[in-house]
Each structure stands twice: as structure tokens, then as C-alpha cells.
Structure 1
Amino acid sequence: MKFIILSSITGLLFALSVFILKCESGKVLVYPVDGSHWINMKVLLEELHSKGHDITVIRPSSSLYITEHPDMYTSIVIEDGIDNISNFFEEYLNKTMAVQRGEASVLTFLKIQMGFLSMISNAHLLSCNIVSRIIEDKELIKRLQDERYDLVLTDPAMAGGVVLAHYLKLPLVLNVRWITSGEGHFAIAPSPLSYIPVPGTGFSDKMSFLQRVKNSIFSMIILFQDRFMVGPHYKALCKKYFNKDCDIVSLLQEADIWLMRLDFVFEFPRPTMPNVAYIGGFQCKPSQPLSEDLESFVQSSGEHGFIIMSLGTLVNSLPVDTADKIAAVFAKLPQKVIWRHLGPSPSTLGNNTLLVKWMPQNDLLAHSKIKAFVAHGGTNGVQEAIYHGVPVLGIPLFFDQSDNLMRIQAKGAAIILELSQLNGHTFKQTLMKLLTDNSYSTNMQRLSSLHRDQPMKPLETAVFWIEYVMRNKGATHLRTQSYRMPWYSYHSADVLLFLFGIAAVLMFTTGTFIRYVCHRACGKRKMKNE
């Protein structure tokens, strides 16, 4: 009898807990970006799912990493007809290295860069076409409207999700560092070019006069790209579907919350806004046990420890001759090496080097025997290195990687080796400096300590603000009105002109009055003399 009563009470409590969870859960429409961007977006979705939220993911049919995951989210697949572009990046890398080695002409380099910019422009055009296909599909758009989502969560590096959120009139949360016109802060916060480096310059917040000149030029180049190469694609969407004059930057500025994938252990101090929440390192987590074979390989390194090397998701391997030189250096080290390398096995590969197609990077970086991380400088990898306190030898390839590495190099926790300098001698010299100079490890461990010393974990911060937007149907009270001001009002040019006008009138009036008085006094004196 007691067992039956206890079972009934347990069942009732379970039913109540499900009801309460159902009441507190929200409906999230997710519009992600593929590649490494999806890797960190997925971390957010896993946490939201664990909190009981109902998630729908819109993904293109050509996705490399965004797969079906019915136990965590519902998928809406949009046919896009896009081919795999991963080979483009390897070809671009090979050609860029050839130019930097002097094996190709400057004209070839310019053609490569134009091809790269054209590819980026086409990627945004395809993103716009997918959004247009969604909006034009009356059955799909009605389904999305009928679902009554609480918000749209998107990565604005490709801003299709921003446009869709605006069309559906839903609150918008951005999982962001990059937007269509560069780094996200430049669209929402005051960004003086005197001490805030523009992406691509490789500068810190301490710039000389000539560096500030270059910083300003890079800013103009980014504005040119946004205005003439990327912006027009989104401008066409705005013109087609909205009854107001807008562009993608103005739509981004209307986002409720910006979940910024960095923190000020990594970033240089700068002005920010109240609707920006910093979640740098949110994808980092305590390690899981390694597989038996991998743990055995790591333990065999003894007191020398091991090194890992990975160049991210877009580049599977370096050119054959470069890979051979790196493998030869690794072969002479007392450390063991785990190297993510999908190309041909280097001819100089040593017995101490294990080539893998995939590695549990976070778990390896957390291992007690890790000594160094040879990396391309992607945001995820850099933040994982900071979280676990592992010094970095950085080989930047493209995008934001050089700037990411420069930030930790400026703090004494990394060394950058440019592609143009990469050969057997320089690689060995740089790697040995990282391994033998304890200051790099000490500085990175200090950054790790600072990063972890927060009132809330970054992932908890991210989920809090997403749920905050759900509870409050947006966060418009955190958005500044400066975005709606014309440039002359924002910079008070009209006020300065008005005050200058008043000063000019006063000066003219005073001058005229003084001239009149002097002229009158001179006239009276002349009459007396006569």
C-alpha cells in the first residue's frame, strides 16, 4: 500500500515538474553558420536543450557540419545547390604561400586576393538567396509564423538570419564576433581608430602615428567592401521585403542582445554597450578521458610531454614540402606530437608523431602532459588554449587568425610565425623558444586564471541573456538610440555649426559696433578741430 502511495506521489511530482518545465521553456529558431561557427553554436544549443527549450535549426542542404540531430532540435533543410568550398581554401593557401615565398608575381597575388573577395561576396549572395527562398515559400513562412517562436538566435557572419528575424518580427540574439562588415563592435559601440585596431592590421592598442594611418586606411577598405561588395546583396533584400529604407548594418543594430565571443582577458580594453554580453571561452569545458590508444600514446611521452598541432576545420593540410619540413622538426623532438593532418603522410614523419583526422582538442589541451599548441589562430582554439593555460605557436592562415594570435602574443603567451617565414629552420627555432622559455607558459597560465575568475561561467551568461530575452519579449531598453541619429547629429556637427554661427554673429556684431563707435568718436573729434 505504501509503495502504491509513494509511486502515485512520485508520478504526480514528475508530472508537475514536466508541466513547470514546459511552462518555463521557450521556442528558439536558430539560423547558424557552418564550419567552426557551428561548433560553438552547437554548444549553446546543447545547453538550451538541457534547460528544456524547444529548438528549430534552419540549415542549407550543403552543410558540412550542421547535421540532423532529432534528439536535440528539429531541422528545416533548405536546398541551396552549393558545392563543397573547402578545396578553395587549400588552393588559396597554397597560392598565397607561393607568392610569399617569391614563387609567384605580385599580379598573381592581386588576382588571388580579388578571387578571395569575390568568393566572400558570392557567399553573402548565396546567403541572401537562401533567405529569399525561405520568404518566398509561403507554406514554410506560414509554418515559421505559426510556431510563435520566442526569438531568433543567429550568427551574423552570414546575416541571413538577421533578415529573417526582422521579417518574422521576432526578438534577435546574436552569437557573434564577426558581422558582414568586420568585427561586431564597430557597428554598435564607439570605436576610436586611435587605439582600437581594425581587423587585418595586426596592431595592438598601442599604435605609432604611421600605424594609426594604416589603421584608418584599413577601416576605409572595410567600409568599401561593405558598401560595394557585400552590402548591396542585403540592400536588395531590404528593398524587396521591407517598407522602409534599411541596410544590413541598421538591421544588426536593432538586435536585442549581442553574445560576444570574447572577453577582456583576450580583447584590448574598449568602449562597449549595455546589450553586449561577453561569453569568450563559453565552449571550453573540463576534459573528458582520452581513448585508450590516445592516452597510451600521451603517457609514453614521459617527462617530456607532448605537443598538438591543428590548422582548423577549413584547411586539412599544408603544401607537401612545408608539411615535410614541419614533420622533420617534430621527428627530432623528445616530445610526442599529435597532428591533425588529412593530406599525404609526410616523407620525414618520425615515430614520435601521430597523424590523426580528428582530435579531441579540448581534452588534449587539458591534459597534464601538454607542452605547446601549434595552431592557426582560430577564435575557438585560441580561447581553449587560454582556458587550459597552454602556450601557442601561431601560424595564421587567413581571416581573423593573425589578429587573434597577435592579442595573446602581446600578452607574452604566444609566438607568431608568418607563412612567409615558415621553413624548417624558423619552425624549429620558434618551437624550441616556446618550449624552453617558461615565461610563455607562465603568462598563459596567468591569462587562464584571469579568464576563469568570473562571477558566472560564460556559458551560463549566454543562456541567462537568451532566457532574459524570452522572458521580456526582447531587450529594447538596452539599445541606444544613437543608431537612429544621422551622422551629423551623432557627432554634434550641427551643434558645433550652430554654436560657431552664434559666435560668428556675436563677433561680427561686436566688431561692427566697435567700428561704429570709433567712427562716430573720430567724427566728433574732427568737428571740434574744425
Structure 2
Amino acid sequence: CLFFTFFNCTVSQWLIVFPICHTDNILVFPTEGSHWINMDILLQALHSRGHNVTILRSSKSWYIKDDKSYYNTITVPVERSLDQNFITKLISETIQFQRGGLPITNFLHLTFGMLGIFLEAHEAVCEFVTAILDDKSLMRNLKDSKFDLLITDPCWGGGVILAKYLNLPLVYNVRWLIFGEGHLAIAPSPLSYIPITGSGHTDKMSFLERVKNVMLHVTNQMHNYLVVTQTYQKLCDKYLGPDNDFNLLALNADIWLMRVDFVFEFPRPTMPNVVYMGGFQCKPAKPLPQHLEEFVQSSGEHGVILMSLGTFVGEIPADMTNEIAAAFAKLPQKVIWRHKGDRPATLGNNTLLVDWMPQNDLLGHPKVKLFVAHGGTNGVQEAIYHGVPVVGLPLFFDQYDNLLRLTERGAAKMLTIETVDKDNNFLKAVEEVLTEPSYRINMQRLSRLHRDQPMKPLDTALFWIEFVMRHKGAAHLRSESYKLPWYSYHSVDVVLFLLTAALLILLIFVGLVRSCFRLCFKRKIKSD
């Protein structure tokens, strides 16, 4: 009896967390690069739950492979795409510019100089969307497939337009919109304590930092307006009708699966349809391949350092590579370095170069002491999950801000491209993090906080995706604030009305007082 009671309770609790699901058809409009890596994990989990997954990909897709066991693909012919050459060229130019410029010129280059490059990238996405919508046979098949949901990453706007065209509920796998972080668009975001990405600020800002924060926010809004009007709004006008504003459509998603949590992110206001799944791609480490396990074990008591600059970076300048390799050669630790390109001339016997490595499994190995990383969201979340301190070398986009959050919590030491190869800065940073216990203590504390949740982040994401499919959307969780113009959202019109009313009342009161004085004055004259 006790066994059956326990069994029934356990099953009941499991069903509460994961209701019995039916097979649904899910359409996916993904993004290339590291964004695809975490989307792929989400799709595998959805397939394991019995759902049918179909992916729209371009004929020049870089990361997204053709049909796999857990998804089907629809390949759309295009002339150009965000391929590997485009991304690597962009990164190479960014690194060279940052190393040769002053801070102010770097800021201006990243803020204004790269606008044309981003515009070109979004134009390529629009050409892909146009190829989809102009293919009558394909659109007929998509409609006949009776999809229950569309999942997209809104850093590119194509999925937003397609979801509206097909009239499908929309779920975001999101951190970034076209310009700026997702919270800024959907949730109340006071600029007094919420730093704009690229500002380099924390949630504790001085007056001048707040001035810079506001200016950067205005600049991002201008960029967003220019890119949207030149690209996605034209598609909306052509395929959805002129009454559809792209910015409003982008804010109309049912659920925002946010790839952060508040162990990592600074505390801030949020909304009912924002679900936090930071670290959902993280999992316990699996055994290493034999050659890696032998190399790791050979490190003895000193342990191992991992270095990876992410999926986008093929190689860094030779002089920087040689400086890093020379620093590693002076350490007693063994080093596993994900590196492409020429072998550094200063490489030591303690360093193993690899084209690819099982990063999650290595970070979970007890002998790994340090992670040298570029600060991408996936790598930062894996470091937090496994409690490994970080020496950060940010290259572009959000990486500086990601590492800043770890640095602010005492779990990382950050360098810059301009200073990494000067005055032994890299070696000093690595030795500091290895020898100062507080870095590991702080990171392990973050790991405990991250893991202490009622549901795993991936399970939370799956629940809310299936929730949207069960209920054909989640309109009851969406605030109507996004439909308001800025002056109504901030009650500027109400303030002006009340000030005008107060002014009128004051003028009337002054007029009455003056009339009373005049009347009294006239009576006094008559009595005299």
C-alpha cells in the first residue's frame, strides 16, 4: 500500500510538471551561429516530447544542416546569406579596428561605422523572407501543414513577419532584438539603473554614466528605426498590409523565453509572458574521449586551463596568439586551446591545440581550474553551471557586458583586445584568477544559486511552449502597454493635461482675485 501510494503521488506530481502532451507541429525560423546551437538543443527536447519540428533554412545555411532524425527542413534557394565568410570578415575587421583605435573612435565605429554592415545583413534576411513568401507552392504547403506554433529568435525579424502571415502563435527564444536587449522593448526599463548593452556599466551608475546610458539608448532607437524602415517594414507593407507596424508585431509574441536568469542578469522589472531559461543548454558532464581524459589526468595537482573564443572566431592576429601561447608556456597547468590557424611559434609543451572540444564536458571535469573565454552567452552560462572562474577576452557584440556581470560578482577577470598583449597582462590575469581563491568561491556560489530552482530551465521552457500550443496562444499574459505611443506610455499627455488644467484654474483664481480687488477698490472710491 505504501509503495502504491508513493507511486501514485510521484506520477501525479510528474503530471503536474509535465502534462500529457499531444503531438504538435512546430515551425522554426532560426538564426545562424551560436544562436542556432542553443536553438538546436531546444528542438531536440521538443522532439523527445513527441512533437514534429520543421525548420526553414536558406540554401546557403552555414550551421543548420539538412534533415536530421529530430527535425525536417525546408530549404529555400537564395542568392546571399549570413554565411561564414560574412561573419568572419566582420569579426576580423572589428578586432583590427579595436586594436588600432582610441576608445572614442572604437565607440564611434561600433555605434555608427558598422550600421551599414548590419543593414546589409538584415537585407539578406529580408531576401530570404521574400523568397519564402513569393513561393506560392511553399506557402500553400505551410498552410496545409496546420502548424500549431512558430518559434524564432527575434534578433532577425523574418520569423515575426512569417508568424503574422500564417496567423500562428509566436514564441521567442530570445535575448536580443534587432537593436538592443529584449527586456528594454517589453518591460519597464528605467535607464537610471538598467545599463544599455555596450555602455560598459553596471546597475550602479554615476551621473555621467547615466548620461552616457541615455545617449546610447537614443542611438539604439535611431538605429532600430533606420534598419526597420529600410527592411522589415517594407515587407510588412507588401505582404501584410500598410496597417501592420513591424515594431508592434515584434512585441506581440505570446511567450519570451529569455536566455538569462537573475543569477547572471542585474535585477530589473519584468513581464508575465517573460520566462527565464538561462543555462537551459547546460547539463552534467559526460566522460571525455580517451585522449582528452589522458591529457587532463596528466596535469596532476595543477589542473587544466580551457581556452575558447567561440564558434565565430577562426583565428586571432598572430602577435596576440604568440603572446597568449607564451603566457601559457610559463604556467604549471596543462592547457586545452580551441584554436584554428597557424600553430603559434611560442607554443609550450603543456598546451594542446584542438579544432573542437566538448566544452561542457571539460568544464564539468574536476581538474579544470580556469576558463579563458570570449564571453558569449552560452560559454558564460556553462561556466556558471559548472562553477569555473573565467578570464574574459571580449571581442564584439554583447561579450563585454556578459563578462562585466561576472566581474561585478567577483567571478571573472576581464581584459580587452587593446591590452591583452601588453605588459604581460594576460599572464598576470590568469595567475591572479588561479591563485586568488575568491574567484572560484564566488563562481561556485553562482553555480549553487543557478541550480537551486524548482524546475530545470529546459523543462520550464518546454512547459511554456506546450502551454502556448494547448491554449492557442497566451494573450492573457501580454500587456497592452506595447500598443501605446511613447507619450501615453510615460503619461506625458496626462501630465500636460493636468498642468494645463492647473494653469487654467490658477488663471481663473487670479482673475477672480483681481476682480474682487477691483470691485472693492471701486466701492471704496464711491464711499469716499
Same fold (TM over 0.5): yes
Match among 248, 253, 268 for residue 250 of structure 1: 248
**2:493 aligns to what?**
494
Q: Is the 8 A contact 1:28 1:149 kept in 2?
A: yes
Q: By how many angstroms is 1:502 displaced?
A: 2.0
| Amino acid across the alignment from 1:471 | R
Q: Deviations over 1:446-473 (max 9, x none)?
A: 0000001111100000000000000000
**2:7 aligns to what?**
none
**1:193 aligns to what?**
191
Q: Is the 8 A contact 2:62 2:84 kept in 1?
A: no
Q: By how many angstroms is 1:267 displaced?
A: 0.4
**1:290 aligns to what?**
288
**For residues 134 and 22 of structure 1, do their structure 2 counterparts lie closer, same or farther at Cα, with a shift above 3 Å needed?**
farther
**Within 5 A, what are the aligned runs for 1:318-337?**
318-337=316-335
| Amino acid across the alignment from 2:486 | W
Partner Cα distance (1:407, 1:233) in 2: 33
Structure 1 runs, 4 residues or longer, greater than 3 Å off: 83-116
Q: By how many angstroms is 1:116 displaced?
A: 3.4
User: Please, which moves more after superposition, 21-30 or 73-82?
Assistant: 21-30
| Amino acid across the alignment from 1:73 | Y
**1:275 aligns to what?**
273
**2:159 aligns to what?**
161
Match among 196, 205, 208 for residue 206 of structure 2: 208
Q: By how many angstroms is 1:100 displaced?
A: 4.3
**2:310 aligns to what?**
312
Partner Cα distance (1:369, 1:457) in 2: 26
**For residues 128 and 405 of structure 1, do their structure 2 counterparts lie closer, same or farther at Cα, with a shift above 3 Å needed?**
same
**2:13 aligns to what?**
none
Partner Cα distance (1:519, 1:113) in 2: 63
- Equivalenced residue count is 509
Q: Is the 8 A contact 2:67 2:73 kept in 1?
A: yes
Partner Cα distance (1:163, 1:232) in 2: 15
Q: Is the 8 A contact 2:277 2:461 kept in 1?
A: yes
Partner Cα distance (2:229, 2:415) in 1: 34
Partner Cα distance (1:233, 1:169) in 2: 21
SS of 2:310 mapped into structure 1? coil
**1:422 aligns to what?**
420
Q: Is the 8 A contact 2:21 2:466 kept in 1?
A: no
Match among 140, 143, 149 for residue 142 of structure 1: 140
SS of 1:315 mapped into structure 2? coil
Q: Deviations over 1:151-193 (max 9, x none)?
A: 0011111121111011100000000001112111111111111
**For residues 95 and 493 of structure 1, do their structure 2 counterparts lie closer, same or farther at Cα, with a shift above 3 Å needed?**
closer
Partner Cα distance (1:64, 1:86) in 2: 6
Partner Cα distance (1:217, 1:418) in 2: 23
Q: Could you tell me the TM-score, scaled by structure 1's length? A: 0.92
Matching of residue 122 in structure 1 with residue 120 in structure 2: yes
**2:8 aligns to what?**
none
Q: Deviations over 1:377-420 (max 9, x none)?
A: 00000000000000010000001000100011100000110001
Partner Cα distance (1:345, 1:119) in 2: 31
Q: By how many angstroms is 1:299 displaced?
A: 0.4
Q: By how many angstroms is 1:333 displaced?
A: 0.8
Matching of residue 182 in structure 1 with residue 186 in structure 2: no
Q: By how many angstroms is 1:242 displaced?
A: 1.4
| Amino acid across the alignment from 1:295 | E
| Amino acid across the alignment from 2:416 | E
Partner Cα distance (1:220, 1:520) in 2: 55
Q: By how many angstroms is 1:430 displaced?
A: 0.7
**For residues 50 and 100 of structure 1, do their structure 2 counterparts lie closer, same or farther at Cα, with a shift above 3 Å needed?**
closer
User: Please, which moves more after superposition, 477-486 or 377-386?
Assistant: 477-486
User: Please, which moves more after superposition, 105-114 or 499-508?
Assistant: 105-114
**1:349 aligns to what?**
347
Q: Could you tell me the TM-score, scaled by structure 2's length? A: 0.93
Match among 56, 61, 67 for residue 63 of structure 1: 61
Q: Is the 8 A contact 1:31 1:57 kept in 2?
A: yes
Q: Is the 8 A contact 1:385 1:391 kept in 2?
A: yes
Partner Cα distance (1:82, 1:511) in 2: 70
| Amino acid across the alignment from 2:266 | F
**1:4 aligns to what?**
none
Partner Cα distance (1:216, 1:110) in 2: 16
Q: By how many angstroms is 1:137 displaced?
A: 0.5
Q: By how many angstroms is 1:354 displaced?
A: 0.5
SS of 2:231 mapped into structure 1? helix
| Amino acid across the alignment from 1:477 | H
Q: Is the 8 A contact 1:128 1:160 kept in 2?
A: yes
Q: Is the 8 A contact 2:77 2:131 kept in 1?
A: no
**For residues 283 and 437 of structure 1, do their structure 2 counterparts lie closer, same or farther at Cα, with a shift above 3 Å needed?**
same
Q: Deviations over 1:244-296 (max 9, x none)?
A: 43333211111000000000000001111100000000000011110000000
**2:14 aligns to what?**
none
Long gaps (5+) in structure 1? 1-20
Partner Cα distance (1:298, 1:408) in 2: 26
**Within 5 A, what are the aligned runs for 1:460-479?**
460-479=459-478
Q: Is the 8 A contact 1:259 1:462 kept in 2?
A: yes
| Amino acid across the alignment from 1:77 | T
Partner Cα distance (1:471, 1:121) in 2: 38
Partner Cα distance (1:104, 1:443) in 2: 33
Q: Is the 8 A contact 1:389 1:441 kept in 2?
A: yes
Q: Is the 8 A contact 1:231 1:247 kept in 2?
A: no
User: Please, which moves more after superposition, 21-30 or 151-160?
Assistant: 21-30
Partner Cα distance (1:196, 1:23) in 2: 39
SS of 2:501 mapped into structure 1? helix
SS of 1:440 mapped into structure 2? helix
**Within 5 A, what are the aligned runs for 1:361-372?**
361-372=359-370
Q: By how many angstroms is 1:317 displaced?
A: 1.4
Q: Is the 8 A contact 1:390 1:444 kept in 2?
A: yes
